[in-house]
Structure formats: C-alpha cells, structure tokens
Structure 1
Amino acid sequence: MEPLDTSAPRLRVAALYCFTRFDDPAALRAPLEALCHEHRIRGTLLLAGEGINGTIAGTDAGIDAIVAHVRGLPGCEGVDVKFSDAPHMPFHRMKVRLKREIVTMGQPDIDPLAIVGTYVEPQDWNALIADPDTIVIDTRNDYEVAVGTFARAIDPHTKTFREFPEWFRSERERLLGQGKAPKVAMFCTGGIRCEKSTAFLKQEGVEDVFHLKGGILKYLETVPEEQSLWEGECFVFDQRVTIGHGLAPGSYELCHACRRPISAEDRASEFYEIGVSCPACHGERTEEQRAAYRERERQEKLAARRGEAHVGAVYRGE
C-alpha cells in the first residue's frame, strides 16, 4: 500500500454494517479490496453470506468512494454508516476478510432479516432505559463494559459475543421473572450485535425487545452530554481506543499484548510494561511470551525510527 497523504487536514472514519444475502461473498472481495487500496483506505471489512461489517479510515474522497461501492452491493442500498474524525490514521493496513458471520454469535438459526427487535432512536433512548419496568442489557464484552456503559445497564461479563446466548438462557428466569415479562432494551457499540441479540431474544419467546438504533456511537454523537445517561467512555475497535461525547478522543490507551483498553491507573501499575503486559493480562502470559512481546516492541521502535509502518494490529470486530 502506498503511504497515506499525511498532509490531509483530517481523516474520516466510517463504521458500517448491513445484513443482506450475498450468494457469493468471495466474488465481492477482490473488487472491494482493490478499490480500498486505490484510495489508500485502511481498516477491516468482513464479508459473509449474511452481509458486510467493518470500520475503515481515509480521506473524505476515499471514504465516499468505498461507501458508494458498498451501497452498490446487493441489498446494501441502505447500509448503516457512522462517520467520525481521527487526528491520525487509526489502522495499520487494509484487510477484506471472508467470514462465516459478520459478527460471531454461533447461532446458525438466527436471521436478523426475518425477525429483529424494535429500533429506538437515540433521542428516545433515555426515556426507555429510565423506565423501571425496562431491563437494560449491555451486549458487549467485559473489557468494553469496564470502560463505560449506560446507567442501570446489566453487564453479562462475557468475554466474547458467542457467550451471550448461554448467558441469557442461564439468567432468563432471574431477569424476566415468572409474571408479565418486562421490556428488554439492549445496546452495543454500533448496532450490529443488537441485530442478532434482539433476534435471538425474539426467537427465545421474549416479546418486548428494543435496541438502540445506531448504537452507542450514534447516541454519543447526537445526544448532548448534559442530557446523556452514558457513564464513562466507549471502546472502539481501532487505535483511538476510546471516544467520548461528541465522538471526541478518549483517555484510554491499548495494551498491545492483550488488546484491552488501559487507563492512567493501569499504566501506573507495576504489572504494566509498554507492549508487554498490563494488570489485566500479566498473569495470563508466561515469561517466554512476555520476552517475545519485548522483542516485538523493540522491532516496532526500530521500524518507527526507519520511518516504516509496523503491521501488527488485530481487528476484534463489533
């Protein structure tokens, strides 16, 4: 990939997804990847038989070209795209990957095109989750919830989205009780996980299921901070790590050993070593692994001194 024009005044980030039916997603990969390289776009796009998902960054013209291309794919005319700005390129390279699912839940019978919860606009979300008859569930993973969440939200303490169905089935009676089932409101970063989680609950027989349209990103973009029920920051899947109200850059950094967000307090810990470990992962790694991470960190610094981009970022997906 050619070097990005760093003289550009800003970079635009586009987070997008669309559930649709691609008969041959492999055939869509090469043209999409070529166009991304042509416009010096970086990030990750996932293609599967159920649609497309990903986050990319580049110039305004480059992002416009990719979004226009995606909207030309079968069933993607109304693809949901959330835009934000970044002061620096938040991705190391461009990847277009073929996957079984564009967001992995591991429930093959779930089809968001057939059944899904009720969308709630950001400006109406506060009233719904403030209602005492509403159960609010954060469908994201534990490391994301730890950075920030909505008031009153239940944390499932899942490490991956694949664990969500088992969590709900085991907690269903406690959550919903034996009488009239309460309303269930769910949210995630950009909205895609809730497409599947609400479809899953509907399939499980839960009737009043709602989800935040556009996800946390749209809420933070459109709801004024003084009216917000959001507490903390929002983890994002790129080198910005977290963002706040108005999609402003957050205060967290990323542990390059485990890819979890780390706070200023974490960085002051005896278990924190740049590129090697943080309080969350120090006990999960062997000394041999940490030695390998130290060598990787050394190579990254050497590459930076030579003016070369180090390729090593991992996209976790929404």
Structure 2
Amino acid sequence: MQVLHNRISNEELKARLFAETERRVTISLYKYFTITDPRAFRDEVYVKFSQLHVFGRIYIAHEGINAQISVPESNFESFRETLYKLSPELNGLRLNIAIDDDGKSFWVLRCKVRSKIVADGITDPDFDPSKVGKYLKADEVNEMIGRDDTVFVDMRNHYEYEVGHFENALEVPSDTFREQLPMAAKMLKDKKDKNIVMYCTGGIRCEKASAYLRYNGFQKVFHVEGGVIEYVRKAKEQNLPLKFIGKNFVFDERLGERITDDVISQCHQCGKPCDNHTNCNNDGCHLLFIQCDECKNKFDGCCSNTCKDEFHLPAEEQRVRRAGRENGTMIFNKSRNNPLLSKVNAVSEETAT
C-alpha cells in the first residue's frame, strides 16, 4: 500500500534536511489548466515526487497546479521529466529557479487539494483565467518601466511590497488577493488608455489579475513573465539593469531574496533601515514583522516586551495563556490592519518606562 501522506515529525524532518550534504534547488511553478480529478492527480503527484525526495508545498485544484518546492540537484532532470509527463499541459512548463538560495527552504512534501490554486473570490462562471494579458520578458519590462503611458501594478501583499518593488510601482493596499482584484480595477478605472503592467512573486497572481482586468474591459494589459523571480534571473543573465529594488519576499524559510543592495524599509521596532522579516518567537503571536539584528537580540526575536515576557514563561503557562487564541485569526496575521501591530508601535513607549 502506497503512503500518501507524511508520517514523520517536523523535528526529525528538519534534522534530516540539515544533515543533507547535497545541494537542493528551490523552484516555484504554476499552470492554469483543467484537472478533471484533482484528488487522483494529487495522489499521483505525491507518490512520484516523494520518490525523487521533493520537499515543499503543492496545491492542486480543478483550475490547475501551484507549487513551491526544493529538489536534490542530482534529481533535477528526473523531476523535470516526471513533471512534464504528468499532463500534456505541463510539458515544457517554465520553472522559476530561486535566486538567493541555500537549499534549506523546505523539509517536507505537503500536497493538498483546494477549491482554487489562488483564492480570488470570483464566482462568475463566465470568467476564464486562461484569457490573460501579454507576457513581458525582462528586456521588455525595462523598456516599459518609467514611461508616461504605462502603469506598473504590484499584485502582492503589503509586507512584500514594503521591502522591495519595481520602481514607482502602484501598491494595491489590501490584505488578500480576493480583495485586491476589485480594488485594482477600481483604482485603475481612469487609466484604461494606458498600458497596465501587473507583477507578483512568481507570476501566478498577476497572471490571473491580468485576466480579471481584461474581463473588466481593460485592453492594454501585460504581466511580467514568471514574476519577479524570472525577471531578475533573466535580467542578470542578460546583464540588464535591475529595475526591481530591495528584496523579493518569498514564502519559505528564507522569507526573502536579496535583489539589490537598496534597503527601502525600516525596523518596525526602532525605525532603523532594515528589510529582514521575522516571525515573533512567542507561540501565542507569531506576528510577521521587520526586525533588525539589534532589536532581535534585545527582544529575543519577539515583537514586544509583552511577547518577550510570555516567551520566557514555562511552557505549560504559555499554553494556558494562549488557550483559545492559538488557532485564532491573530496567529501569523500579516494584515496591515492587524491589531497585533499596535504592540509593535507601542514598543518605544514600553522601552521608555
């Protein structure tokens, strides 16, 4: 009987990962195409990728596949061949290779079936996510950026935009992609005569966003092929000037890839230039925020003195304190309106007393 789920503890899996001596390649990929039986497709993917020691997150839905994974370097070609044979739609699929990568991005393979590979809130059956805008390659991005007839639109979340973005890109200030889509259309309604260039981390969100704008009557819609990851890779290969400044936030243990030396954000605790994201060490919080090394040492990786004090309590007392809120909306909440941010903003007051 084939095993279709992981049965080993995270602690052991992490230990195995860091004991590995072979380099791993971190990859992101996606494809919008119709999958008739997502559950059967998921099981096939899990079995075949497990055999190749693939780690990471894979989401499968009727509308396609979305994955962020790592592959042992010696298995890379076998992985690519296996992927391409899963479906004719996946044959020749572009793989986004991580830029700043130590190979320790994932330690287990998680493969899940979801209603959509990107939650978009769209219920209109006439919407077709495959009717996308025009792809832009790296040199075309550089040619269009800064033009008066062109608007670059960042379809990532605020914590991603905060540490890095294309020059003069428009931020859509919402907390989720499903909120961003109608908000972007509203913000751009008086710019239908301009070129609209959308981008995101690896291409999956901006591709759907471009289809959404086209569905809402926009004609001159483009999106950066492969997102920031592919743009940077191609720009470096072709010795093009980088028009993306700062860091590119990524959804794995690294929490960011350095693109340029520019630091465009500040430590949320002391205000010094900093673009290092961290998760508050307090298990009753885990707020994602920006923290410099000095503040990390001062607050033991926590977002406030309150969390620092709770972090140092005996484990049982910590569990009692966070009972009822450990799995609530406060945990790992990255919203710009997250009430936990009030703790970050209050740190200066705490340290002054």
Question: CA RMSD for the aligned pairs?
Answer: 3.3
Distance 2:51 2:154 in 1: 38
Instruction: Map 1:244-263 to 2 at 5 A.
Output: 244-245=258-259, 252-256=276-280, 257-258=285-286, 260=288, 262-263=290-291
Partner secondary structure for residue 162 of structure 1: helix
Shift of 1:95: 0.3
Tell me the equivalent position of 1:304.
none
SS of residue paired to 2:53: coil
* Higher Cα Rg, which structure: 2
CA 1:255–1:168: 2 relative to 1, 3 Å:
same
Structure 1 gaps of 5+ residues are 300-313
> Secondary structure at the residue paired with 1:86?
coil
Question: What letter matches 2:115 in structure 1?
Answer: R
**Per the alignment, in what secondary structure is the counterpart of residue 32 of structure 1?**
helix
**Match among 149, 153, 169 for residue 137 of structure 1:** 153
Shift in Å, 1:64? 3.4
On the 8 A contact 1:126/1:229 being kept in 2, the answer is: yes
Counterpart position of 1:305: none
Say whether the 8 Å CA contact 1:140–1:158 is kept in structure 2: no
CA distance in 2 between counterparts of 1:254 and 1:215 reads 23
CA distance in 1, matches of 2:313, 2:254: 21
Map 1:1-318; keep pairs closer than 5 Å.
Answer: 3-4=16-17, 6-74=19-87, 75-84=89-98, 86-109=101-124, 110-113=127-130, 115-173=131-189, 175-176=190-191, 181-224=193-236, 227-245=241-259, 252-256=276-280, 257-258=285-286, 260=288, 262-264=290-292, 267=295, 272-274=299-301, 277-278=302-303, 295=315
> Relative contact order (alpha carbons < 8 A, sep ≥ 6): 1 or 2 greater?
1
Contact 1:25/1:49, CA 8 A, preserved across alignment: yes
Question: By how many angstroms is 1:129 displaced?
Answer: 1.7
1:72 alignment partner, SS class: helix
In the alignment, the residues of structure 1 paired with residue 34 and residue 287 of structure 2 have an alpha-carbon distance, to the nearest angstrom, of 32
TM-score, normalised via structure 2 length: 0.71
Q: Distance in 1 between matches of 2:314 and 2:197?
A: 43
Distance 1:58 1:133, change over 3 A: same
Which residue pairs with 1:309 in the alignment? none
Q: How many angstroms apart in 1 are the aligned matches of 2:314 and 2:211?
A: 44
Structure-2 separation of matches of 1:233 and 1:293: 35
Offset of 1:78 from its aligned partner? 2.9
